[in-house]
Structure 1
């Protein structure tokens, strides 16, 4: 759990910051924070990859391991700093492709699910983070980048789920919904059983009609960080979970 903060020095301007990572909700409902490594220098973010954006953390309350957004700090000099964390036992090495074993938590409809804790969406990375956290809240653990990239946006895979996130300023169209459904149906990414779409700008009428016909859950990403269901398939996914 978080303490009063850990001193982090910017290697670019040598300013020192007192940093404490914001808590995020585990699937069990407990607030989790990535354990910041003391005495390990922060590194400037010069390029981004999915492997570097996530870190494996063990929940202090239930013991589950999952991938969580790696802490970052914005320095006054303009540098974005990747804050080092203490990896969980058996955690994958950053940058190395691996698939973590899935930990089932049962049907979330069988027991009440705690309220989802939103994360403010400020950029594309935040939109993907919110979608990944929401899937974990629904019971789809060990979310990761899907092996096959879509024409636009980002895809997230978990056991039994393939989701796509569209952070663009234009409404998601028919083709994007159909491509996601087809990829899920053909099992291109770990043979997912279902799929879901998260869009920041909403959907065209054609996309919504096709999603209803294909039973694809649609969500709109609220800028406050709370996905809102758009169709009955999304309502069913929330009710039943993984």
Structure 2
């Protein structure tokens, strides 16, 4: 699960809005104004379904390990559970990313050529134009100094950040930032949590290398950066 960040996404002249939907803090970029509204509606609808499911299955929220869900579970629940299983973490670690993925899918359905949703630091995007995403690592001296220049061939993409020093989410590691690039934000979200958890110990270099080895073992992960 991610962390709130300062401005770090740059994509030229687009419709851009920050929205809060209950616990979700969203940054939405789109070439169509309607895309903003559709993304917000998607997050609200899927959060309602998630809350309904958790109300009947409270163990889903508390699980720190992969959690089996029924085929009839809401789509956001199934997406989070699948990503968490692949990464070896609890399903809530993938929920923000899954919500972002679903919002982007809804934007594509109405014809947006640029669809980007950041949910608390987890990014889901597809775009026909380049997008620059800087990496935020709290007080680390490298924070905001490097990132990803994404071109048309890189999409669709998910980028997620987990931190033991900035985020309020549960973490068992010591990374300032564990950033994962993946095929979806749900998987990137869960994988970043797993990678961050693996970064620990007095030997900082060895812990970073351990985190990167962990990332390599997760199917669907395209790349990772660890800052400590």
TM bracket, shorter-chain basis: 0.3 to 0.5
More helix by share: 2
Higher relative contact order (CA 8 A, sep 6+): 2
Higher Cα Rg: structure 1 or 2? Answer: 1
Q: How high is the TM-score relative to the length of structure 1?
A: 0.31
